[in-house]
Amino acid sequence: MTVHFPFQNSYSALPDSFFARVAPTPVAAPRLIKLNRPLAVQLGLDPDLLETAEGAAILAGKTVPDGADPIAMAYAGHQFGQFVPQLGDGRAILLGEVIDKDGVRRDIQLKGSGPTPFSRRGDGRAALGPVLREYIVSEAMYALGIPTTRSLAAVVTGEHVIRETALPGAVLTRIASSHIRVGTFQFFAVRRDTEAIRRLADHVIARHYPELRDAERPYHELLAGVVARQAELIARWLLVGFIHGVMNTDNTSISGETIDYGPCAFMDAYNPSQVFSSIDEMGRYAYANQPRIALWNLTRLAECLLPLFSDEQEKAVAEAQDILGAFSEIFSTAYQAGLRKKVGLFTEREGDDALIQDLLEAMAKNQADFTLTFRKLGDSAVDDSADARAQFMEPAAFDEWSRRWRARIALEPQTAAERQAAMHAVNPAFIPRNHSVEAVIQAAVNDDDYAPFEELVQVLAKPFEDQPEFAAYADPPLPDQRVLRTFCGT
């Protein structure tokens, strides 16, 4: 039987200026190393056929399936605050779109599938390590309940890519509700192509915000919708200690999904100023800066949409500013509500925000592990001897806070077991810790051993369960295991 993809391609039906038609570059000897079988089924694909040699050839870009309309999307973007008028998919090719089992249109994109007109002298290829990193982290984010692109498959190509050294080549099959970015709008705005901006906005509304099609001011409502989704997304990042690493406008999704996992990482010890990206020398995309940067990126989107708001510049700017002004409240509401859940509060009382902020400050001063502190705090709800305090360099700092916390939760009627269950449902035991991710990458790259990768993916699929047989994956790194810098380099 032949692998069948039920493609329905809407983006490639837009004008030619939106993309370049380009086929993936064939590779020498594709070999499937991981297929996300549940996701394949959700997309209406046959996982058994995808695991055949024919399936591997498609997932590596060696064979283009029937119905595909391969394109590289055009976009621009601010990279670390500097505007680049043309970026585009330099190493990714969108095969097409399918409608999944829930009726949602999803992109199927090959990342690392060869050069495109947007490659800017790059080879268009991906190394194995970054492909595995994106697979691990994107699927972990999905399991954590955070909107994200997903990974359908990882394939090694049988070829090497040259970075600092020769590395195994690989291709990631990425799934997204779309790959439209703030930078996609910027691509047309810098060219003063208002009609293209309108076409793109109409496409986004039809695809992601269909409830706005009959709105009195659909483009205003579109901006408001993107602002709300991004505000809530960033709040969710902060609540699990996630640092994106490269929050450029070309990495900011219009659909509200987390996209482009490059030098991303989860914090171990809580530090609001934490930066992992090797190229973020000024800390622009540090953990605590992410809400501010998200609003900055959304302001760039608003600038693109101004011609659709009004012919009067001053009026359009005022209307955009009013919409952008909602970001802080939406973010704060989502973030504070999430923090209350993390510390087991079912109701709101005066002083709650200060109580939680005091915990975060104590965690920062005492280098407390972000994930384990909250997870162990859930255990402390039922057992005074639970070792949340062990995360603190000076446990007395936790003891002082804990007395206030216990007095606060005593004002609520929930049982200790109910509180622990609610806290464990939002505080993961397992995250993709940097040292664990690096260890499985090294096993794959150096030894062609994918067993550690498979096990880590298995553990991270159930982040809120204790999984005692895999307890070591919950441990923070030893001093010699700490990963201090992460890299782009797909």
> Which amino acids are annotated catalytic?
250
Q: How many Cβ atoms from other residues are within 10 Å of residue 393's Cβ?
A: 10
Q: Determine the Cα–Cα distance for residues 114 and 127; give it in Å rounded to an integer.
A: 12
Q: Residue 21: which of 86, 119, 95, 111 has the closest Cα? A: 95
Q: Determine the Cα–Cα distance for residues 435 and 438; give it in Å rounded to an integer.
A: 5
Q: How many Cβ atoms from other residues are within 10 Å of residue 13's Cβ?
A: 10
The upper half-sphere exposure of residue 371, i.e. CA atoms within 13 Å in the direction of its Cβ, equals 22
152 backbone dihedrals φ, ψ, rounded to 5°: -90, -40
Cβ pair 233, 258 in contact under 8 A = yes
Helix axis angle for 182-189 and 194-208, nearest 10°, is 160
Three-state DSSP class for residue 100: coil
Type of residue found at 44 = G
Q: How far apart are the first and last CA of the chain?
A: 33
Cβ pair 130, 489 in contact under 8 A = yes
Q: Determine the Cα–Cα distance for residues 210 and 234; give it in Å rounded to an integer.
A: 23
